[in-house]
């Protein structure tokens, strides 16, 4: 069971994870998309990913 449940802003039903990808312009920015199970509305959450030297190697 996920620790974070996002309610749909349109119908207040549960949203599920759809995809996560970095942006083309800036690879450290991650767009995570959630879609409503009921009405199909989508929400995109944008976050900044920090990369340390250990991950880059």
Please tell me the total count of domains within the chain. Answer: 1
1 in a domain, yes or no?
Answer: no
Q: What is the pLDDT of residue 1?
A: 42
Nearest-angstrom CA–CA distance, 10 and 42? 10
43 in a domain, yes or no?
Answer: yes
Q: What is the pLDDT of residue 11?
A: 95
Q: What is the DSSP string of 1-57?
A: --S--EEPTTT--EEEEEEEEE-SS-TTEEEEEEEETTT--EEEEEEEPP--HHHH-
44 in a domain, yes or no?
Answer: yes
52 in a domain, yes or no?
Answer: yes
How confident is the prediction for the chain on average, in pLDDT? Answer: 83
Q: What is the pLDDT of residue 3?
A: 52
Neighbouring residues of 42: CB distance < 8 A, sequence distance ≥ 6: 18, 33, 34, 35, 36
The arithmetic mean of pLDDT across residues 11-39, rounded, is 91
32 in a domain, yes or no?
Answer: yes
The arithmetic mean of pLDDT across residues 29-35, rounded, is 93
Q: Is 38's pLDDT higher than 90?
A: yes
Q: Which domain holds residue 33?
A: 6-56
37 in a domain, yes or no?
Answer: yes
């Amino acid at each position: 069971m996920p620790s974070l449940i996002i309610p749909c802003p349109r119908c207040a039903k549960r949203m599920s994870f759809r995809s996560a990808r970095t942006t083309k312009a800036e690879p450290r920015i991650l767009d995570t998309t959630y879609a409503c199970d009921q009405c199909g509305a989508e929400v995109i959450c944008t976050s900044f990913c920090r990369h340390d030297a250990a991950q880059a190697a």
